[in-house]
Amino acid sequence: MFRITFFGTGNGLSYPNRENTFFLVQHLPNNSAYLVDCGGSPWVKLVKAGVGPEDLKALLITHGHADHTYGLPALIQSLWLAGRKSPLSIYCPTGAEKIIKGLLELFDLPAKPNMYEIIIQEQPLERETLALRDGGLQITTFPALHGIPTMGMVFYDKKDHKTVNVVYSADTVYNPLLETLAKDASCLIHECNGADKAMGQHSSLHDVVRLMKKTVPEQVVLVHLTEGENYERLLQQYGLKQPEFVIAEDGMSLRIS
């Protein structure tokens, strides 16, 4: 069972009502929290979500673009100021460790007195790789298609012969791997940078609907959204509506079970 809280739902250019996409995944049986990417004012958003300095178990950075990483130094410092003592793992794709270390060293964070240990773990970009396991929770990563090393991820909650899984595409063009990984998923969170047309190394709403028809997830949630794109019109044309298809909003929280 998971609670997903969207701290930001916009694309690389944030907007008054949409910050850059990043979100919190809380595994309710373990009372553990995981932050996917790190945009603006992360500590304030964690506090509002009821997450304390020791509650955050790990960060998962999908790739090294600025809109997905710029809040990282502020978060690391805020956790330190709030008294965190336990080590913090940061999972990232191959090649992103250099960017993360550079951000932390820019502000001399590793040298702070009594700084907690930061463990950066690069994930190989293979078909599906186990990142961590904690009781009934399992997190795996897989390669997305975004022009630079990028990882999507799957959160699994396995209990009583039932598996609840949340799949995140990360920034990507249409990714055939998801045809398998998102099959019958409890929730598919997919980037949708454009409605009618994909922009750059991203996906359009047509791409997401194509994938949805092949995988039949219980729910699809759109993130990495562009201001002014007419997502609602296209969804109506496809005959799709909530709660099966959700256009995420900043601050929105969903319970997946």
- Residue 246's H or E segment, with its range, is strand 245-247
* Token pair 């191959």: residue: 94
Whole-angstrom distance, CA of residue 246 vs CA of residue 221: 5
Quick: pLDDT tens for 9-43: 999 988 999 999 999 999 999 999 999 999 999 99
Whole-angstrom distance, CA of residue 243 vs CA of residue 35: 24
Q: Angle 166-209-9 (CA atoms, 0-180°, nearest 5)?
A: 55
Determine the average pLDDT of the residues in 72-96. Answer: 98
- Residue 237's H or E segment, with its range, is helix 231-238
Quick: pLDDT tens for 231-242: 989 999 999 887
Strand-pair category, 32-36 with 22-27: antiparallel
- Residue 213's H or E segment, with its range, is helix 205-215
pLDDT category, 160, cuts 50, 70, 90? low
Domains within the chain, CATH numbers bracketed: 2-256 (3.60.15.10)
pLDDT at 199: 83
Single-letter amino acid, residue 38: C
Burial 8-25 (b: 16+ CB within 10 A, else e): bbbbbebbeebbbbbbbb
CA atoms within 13 Å, Cβ hemisphere of 111: 4
Burial 119-128 (b: 16+ CB within 10 A, else e): ebebbebeee
pLDDT of 162 strictly over 80 = no
CA atoms within 13 Å, Cβ hemisphere of 35: 32
